[in-house]
Copies of this chain bind each other. A is one copy, B any other.
Amino acid sequence: MALHLLHKKDSLMLPLAATLQAVAQTVESCQVCGNWDTQNPCHLCTDGRRDKTILAVVENVADLWAMERAQRFRGLYHVLGGTLSALSDVAPEALRIPSLVDRCRQGGIEEVILALNATIDGQTTAHYVAAALEGLPVRLTRLAQGVPIGGELDYLDEGTLGAALMARLPL
């Protein structure tokens, strides 16, 4: 890759360098939700067509993009910037939890969806965030856990199958 860039110094390497510089200067973290964008607040926070009463709490911008790809969520986001992790030494202060509490306290938000990963760290963080939001007038929900779409029972891990069974729904 490096040799290819050197071969195409003028047509590829210098434009790439210029673009990287421009992106580094123009893209910043949205002061409201933590998304990356060239404008601040970001285009999601300022989009009048989105439902401002519902907030999805995600771990990072990659998860926000994943939610956007799913095209089902029309509310706003709050990016935590990571998950609590004893192993990686991530403490609650390192995450954007205080600003989440502030947003909920300001009013107008009715539901907070904890759209965190179904991992140990993700679920630990979900519990911590839930505790931090206790007493505030918001409804807390979490993503459903169970059999993924297209999933075949025979190939599922026991944990997921057990969870899907425990959380079974009326037909």
Instruction: Tell me the A residues contacting B by CB distance below 8 Å.
Output: 58-60, 62-63, 65-67, 69-73, 113-119, 122, 126, 130, 139-154, 156-171
Inter-subunit contact B113/A153 (CB<8 Å) = no
- Residues in B whose Cβ lies below 8 Å from that of A146: 143-148, 164, 167
Q: B165, A143: Cβ atoms under 8 Å? A: yes
Chain multiplicity (copies):
2
Which B residues lie within 8 Å of A115 (CB)? 153, 165
Complex Cα–Cα for A66 and B165 (A):
12
Please state if A148 and B160 are interface contacts (CB–CB under 8 Å): yes
A126 to B141, CA, bound (A): 28
Q: Is the CB of B118 within 8 A of A149?
A: yes
Cβ contacts under 8 Å, A142 to chain B: 168-169, 171
